[in-house]
Structures are given as C-alpha cells and as structure tokens.
Structure 1
Amino acid sequence: MRETYGTHASAGLREARRTLPCRPADARRTVRQAVADGCGARTVPCDDAALEDALLVTSELTTNAILHGGGITGFDVDVDPGAVSVTVCDRSDDVPVVHDPVDERGRSRLGGRGWPIVCRLARDVSVAGLPCGGKRITAVVPLG
C-alpha cells in the first residue's frame, strides 16, 4: 500500500489534499503524519531514526526553497513500504550547489550544509526543471 500526500498542481486525484506548507515545521508535520498513517496501516516499517532522517531532509529542502528558491510552490509526500519520498518545488531554475564550508580567507561560512545533508541521508535525489520555470527536487529516504 502506498500513502500519498500532495499539494502540487500536478498531483493525482488519489492524493489527500493538504495546505501548501509555508514553513519547514508545516512540511515536517505533514511527513510525520504520512509516515504515521503508513505505520498505522502496518504497510511501512516504523524506525524512529529513519523518520528523523526524513524530517531533517524535509526541513532542508523546504528551508532551501524558501531561502534560495523564491518560496515553496509544490510539496508532495509519498510513503511506500521501506521509504518516504519528499518532493519540494520552488520558483528558481538554479540547481543546488555545495559550497566550501570555509571562505577564501579561511573563515567559516554560515549555512551551505543543507544540500550535503540531503544527499547523505537520501538513497536517491533528483532535480528536474519544471515546464513553466522553477524546479522539483525529490529525495527518497529509507524508512527501515
């Protein structure tokens, strides 16, 4: 069984509609509920550490969309046995980049660690441009 939660315009009819998250906390709450629903139906393993990884990935993707992407324009969560897929869309065509944590003068930079965290915790990450501009980032995080 697959549980799907979505708020993007291209989301299918089978999805439960939610309000588009404006804050990372709203997105985390949606992911937590989707995983809890899957666990309640006993179709998804319930590993607390894996859920925390999925929530951290959700925070990073939504924060980056707000700070660097012009805001969240779409958000989807798919839960299937063994993984949660989090998709965040934003207005920017720019793909995420990794910055050196130290600048050219040897000083520590603020920020710049979110994308490496996403890439480390997810088993699959994809970035795709959207037809009307912007991008869609999907990260698949194992749940058990």
Structure 2
Amino acid sequence: MCRQGHRSATDTVAGARHGAPVGPGNPADVRQAVRRALAGRPGEPTHDVEDAAGDALLVASELVTNAMLHGGGVTAFDVTRTERAVRLSVSDRSDRLPVAVDQFDEIGRMRVGGRGWMIVCTLASDVVVARLRAGGKRITAEVPLAPGPNG
C-alpha cells in the first residue's frame, strides 16, 4: 500500500465498534490531541519535538480527513508518544483499504486532491492497516520524533 522502503501490513484484529468511543469531531480536535501528546517533558530538547510536530500534525489530519471522506467517519482515535516517535491510530467504518491516487487524471490534468495517503506514507516510518473483526479498519502510523543515530 505504501511505497517501497516503508513497512506496511494488513491484518485482522479484534475491535468492536459497539460501545467504542466516538472519534473526534474534526481534524482540529485531532491536532489538539497530538499537541497535548507532544507537550515537552522536563529536560527534553524542544527543537526535536517541534521539528516532528508538523509531520505528526499533518499525518493525523490526513488520517482523520480520509476516514471522514472515504471511511464512513471516525470511530476511534488514539495518539501515543514514545521516546522516539508519535503513534497515531484512526479507525473508521469502511473495509476499503487506502490507495494512492495518481496526481494526474486520464487526460493529463493535475488532480485537485488525492494526496493524503501519499503524505501519510511519506512521513510515517511505519504504517499498519488492520481490518477490524466487527467491520471497518484501523490505520496506525508511526511518525519519528527525531532522526535516528545515523542520520
């Protein structure tokens, strides 16, 4: 699903939508949750977090927007910060897997939209798409906070 060089997997996981928390009302709610997760910790260099914040905010916005436009709405959202990354998970109602859309239409005109999945795959170091047993899917993307020790 994502381009070469990115780990991408599809699997089926348990996850009932019945009684599951309702997802955020809009991408702005998600961005606020990401900002809270990225709030600096004492003694931590803030420039690493600030540099990664833009990528994490963009990936979160794209995942939620795609769920709203193509997935029947957001059924759950989770953001977790680890030492080296921000893990974003968005669940929706659709079983359809995300696809990259060509930036040009069949007669060579540039498309207006359709770049969200490409953005997610470019900025995330790891993307997993899991089908939920109760229907729908969960997409989890991990966005690095800082470059690794080699770069």
TM-score class normalised by the smaller sequence: 0.7 to 0.9
1:107 is displaced (CA, Å) by 1.2
Aligned length: 127
Does 43-52 or 133-142 show the bigger shift?
43-52
Amino acid at match of 1:105: I
Tell me the distance in 1 between the aligned counterparts of 2:44 and 2:27.
Answer: 26
The CA RMSD measured in Å over matched residues stands at 2.0
1:129 is displaced (CA, Å) by 0.2
1:20 is displaced (CA, Å) by 3.3
Residues 43-122 of structure 1 aligned to structure 2 (within 5 Å): 46-122=48-124
Q: RCO (CA 8 Å, sep 6+): is it higher in 1 or 2? A: 2
1:43 is displaced (CA, Å) by 6.8
1:42 is displaced (CA, Å) by 4.9
| Secondary structure class of the residue paired with 1:40 | coil
User: Aligned pair 1:40/2:32, yes or no?
Assistant: no
| Secondary structure class of the residue paired with 2:143 | strand
Residues 123-142 of structure 1 aligned to structure 2 (within 5 Å): 123-142=125-144
Residue segments in structure 1 that go unaligned for 5+ positions in a row: 1-8, 11-17
1:111 is displaced (CA, Å) by 0.9
| Secondary structure class of the residue paired with 2:25 | coil
Task: Encode CA deviations 1:86-116: one digit per residue, 9 max, x unaligned.
Answer: 0000000011001111111111112110101
Identify the residue that residue 32 of structure 2 maps to in structure 1.
29
1:122 is displaced (CA, Å) by 0.5
Tell me the distance in 1 between the aligned counterparts of 2:144 and 2:108.
Answer: 36
Tell whether the 8 Å contact from 1:85 to 1:140 is kept in structure 2 after alignment: yes
Tell me the distance in 1 between the aligned counterparts of 2:133 and 2:43.
Answer: 37
Tell me the distance in 2 between the aligned counterparts of 1:33 and 1:114.
Answer: 23
After TM superposition, the runs of 4+ consecutive aligned structure 1 residues lying more than 2 A away are 39-47
| Secondary structure class of the residue paired with 2:60 | helix
Distance 1:44 1:35, change over 3 A: farther
Tell me the distance in 1 between the aligned counterparts of 2:82 and 2:92.
Answer: 24
Tell whether the 8 Å contact from 2:22 to 2:75 is kept in structure 1 after alignment: no
Residue segments in structure 2 that go unaligned for 5+ positions in a row: 1-14, 147-151
